Amino acid sequence: MSTAGPPQGAQHRSAQRGGLAGRRIDCDLLVVGSGASGLSAAVTAAWHGLKVVVVEKAPVFGGATAWSGGWMWAPGNPLAKRAGIHEDPQQPRTYLRNELGPHYDAARVDAFLDNAPAMVAFFEQHTALQFVDGNGIPDIHGQVPGAATGGHQLIAAPCDARTLGALNKQLRPTMRETSFLGMPIMAGADLAAFLSMTRSAKSFLHVTGRFLRHLRDLALHGRAMHLVNGVALVGRLAKSAQDLQVQLIASAPARRLLLEQGRVCGAVVAMDGGETEIRASRGVVLAAGGFPHDTARRQALFPRTPTGHEHLALPPESCSGDGIRLGEAAGGVLATGLASPVAWAPVSRVPHADGTVGHFPHIIDRGKPGVIGVLSTGRRFVNEADGYHDYTAAMVAQAPAGEEVCSWLVCDHRFQRLYGLGHARPFPLPVGPAVRSGYLQRGATIEALARACGIAPAALAATVQEFNDHARRGEDPAFGRGSTPYNRKMGDALHRGPNPCVAPIEQGPFYAVKVLPGSFGTFAGLRTDASARVLGADGAAIAGLYAVGTDMASVLGGCYPSGGINLGPAMTFGYIAGRHAAGV
């Protein structure tokens, strides 16, 4: 890794936090939001010589990124090429043309695909952000022309929090529901080891070592020090920003943009009990995390969300539409004609012992052999091993009219002890607490389980019997589960049957968890051009105003062709905006 400084002649000055309320700060670029897209823009611009200020509404940095899996979709990235994967640049374009159809925006797609490899190379060579490849992860829809079987994914390398100094305590910690006793588990090989620890001595030793080191960190530091996934991405980006003297200011929501002669030249920010005017000669980057917690906009845009509250958003509550409202006030336009306004995720409510309720995203369990998803009718409705967006979109579309939109993941005792079910962990952790809290329903028979869940008993029994008849042969004629490389990746490579995604459900007692529509974030956002500039109603760019991440309308038109399609474009368009603001 090279940590060479910015180009010769760049000057960076850092204002201290104290006593800024009611005063003016001058900078070149102001970034509103501290997730991946905002920090990408800030680091890129600062390395190219700009004085940058980042303001964050929440008291901690990281936004929705810190609670994410951290995967980025970046076709043609240097890690894939170093591994010998040399893909025709037209292949991902072919895939996206077929996936996006009428939502394919050639200019912005080209900007993304052309700049994603350069973005990765820039951060690798010049910053503290380093990556681990996900070359074995296929695109979701393997039957679509252009879909790749690997080489498109990467994730931030684990980060030792000790290298961050005081900055570590300013980062949003890993989501409670996706960690174990505060220990984050890295997506990929680390997670696979946890899921196979009872069947592999190598995995058992890995898990034991990880847990013992975590206990040591808790004793010495009171928190996890081995950062992975989204927190590692944020930590490495924030460290890079700090190294470049970017001023990071938390608990500082932007109230309104400053406009002069049609150009955005800064913002008024609430901080330290007053308001501070931040003047930004090169403009403002909106990166505030979209509107997953704006209930009024959810009510207006999300299907089957009549009050705006029928939705379990996974991002922090601070992601409530501030950036989009700022952009609209400056003349920006919200793009709503997308395939979907939201990046769907199947989510269950987790009742904690302290009386709080958390949200758990069902990303891994649905593809494992021996579980099915059913509606209240007792019938399956989707290939459970397909993408999380696909599962939830099908649930929203097919749940009986007039009923709550929900589904149930149903499995047997063998499955729950082997893989876990949602937040109910596998052996050796007990399943009883999840049953007693009401998180899981349990029944001695399939019919008893159905009655406990409010599912049609006879229909569920018939569904399970039909599924089992085919599953014993490793088949799923109803939905083709296990038919794509992505399906098989989501299954269990150690499963002894012919299909890593299919096994019968037959060893009682039986379990079910209720799954509701949730999201990783929003796709509807401000219209932008290929340089991430916000567009007005006349289609012209608003001078000095950029939008990135989920404040910009999805570059993929509200479609979900692969894992990492939120953070890949977020990092890339942050990089594009930072370079454009710097005049590069």
pLDDT of residue 22: 57
**Assigned token pair, 104:** 């394919």
Torsion of CA 150, 156, 160, 161, to 10 degrees: -150
Q: The dihedral of CA 406, 188, 507, 431: what is its sign?
A: negative
8-state DSSP, 421: B
Q: Does the pLDDT at position 182 exceed 80?
A: no
The token pair at 312 is 């379990």
- In this predicted structure, the answer to whether residue 179 has a pLDDT above a threshold of 80 is no
Residue 230 has pLDDT above 80, yes or no: yes
Per-residue pLDDT, averaged over 284-297, amounts to 97
Q: Residue with structure tokens 């797609």? A: 109
**The pLDDT of residue 407 is above 60:** yes
Delimit the domains of the chain by residue range: 183-222, 345-519
Contact indicator for 421, 415 with CB cutoff of 8 Å: yes
For 78-83, the CB contacts below 8 A with 24+ separation are 78/117, 78/120, 78/121, 78/124, 79/120, 79/131, 79/132, 79/133, 79/135, 79/154, 80/133, 80/135, 80/150, 80/151, 80/152, 80/154, 83/133, 83/135, 83/151
Whether the predicted pLDDT of 118 surpasses 90: yes
pLDDT at 17: 41
* Chain segment 437-458, per-residue pLDDT in tens: 999 999 999 999 999 999 999 9
CATH of domain 345-519: 3.90.700.10
Whether residue 107 is predicted with pLDDT greater than 70 in this model: the reply is yes
- List the structure tokens of 49: 């010589």
Q: How high is the pLDDT of residue 531?
A: 98
CA distance 29 to 13: 13
Q: Is the pLDDT of residue 10 over 60?
A: no
Average pLDDT over residues 48-72: 97
| Average pLDDT, integer, range 362-391 | 97
Residue 446: its pLDDT value, please? 98
**pLDDT at res. 18:** 41
Helices then strands (H, E): number in the chain?
16, 24
Q: Quick check: 525 pLDDT over 50?
A: yes
Least reliable range by pLDDT among 49-53, 109-113, 209-213, 489-493: 209-213
Give the pLDDT confidence of 17-26 residue by residue, as tens digits: 444 455 899 9
Q: What pLDDT digit, counting tens, does each position of 417-433 carry?
A: 999 999 999 988 899 99
CB atoms closer than 10 angstroms to residue 60 = 18
Q: What is the mean pLDDT of residues 234-256?
A: 98
pTM score of the predicted model: 0.93
